[in-house]
Homo-oligomer: A and B are copies of this chain.
Amino acid sequence: MTFVNVGTLGVLPGKRDELVAILTRRSQVLADIGCQLYEVGINEAEPDAVFVVELWESEDAHTASLQLDSVRAAISEAMPLLSGKMGGLRFRVVGSPLRD
């Protein structure tokens, strides 16, 4: 069942673009292990935050991704940029008005 992970990552002032660069670095392995969508974004209301929305073929696929060397490396690269303010939500998809 499709699993959605939404995250808000607080960054230290001036570090937003650096975090965006890490999160948007091309990664075929994510798709290979079941990531169906991974959108990274920003907004004007929160200049010290980066947002992610991820769709995974299952919660297990998402959990497994956190063990990947490339993901662990990206996380450790990103840690010094983070303010510690984190948020988000997770849910399993039960339907869509765009499909039967």
Contact = CB atoms under 8 A, between A and B. Distances in A.
* Number of this chain's copies in the complex: 2
B4 A38 contact: no
B23 A97 contact: yes
Interface residues of A, number: 35
A53 interface: yes
A14 interface: no
A91 B31 CA distance: 23
Interface string A56-100: 000000000000000000000000000000000111111111111
Contacts of A91: 41-43, 51
14 contacts: A4-B39, A6-B53, A8-B89, A20-B94, A20-B95, A24-B96, A26-B99, A37-B37, A38-B96, A38-B97, A39-B96, A40-B93, A41-B93, A41-B94
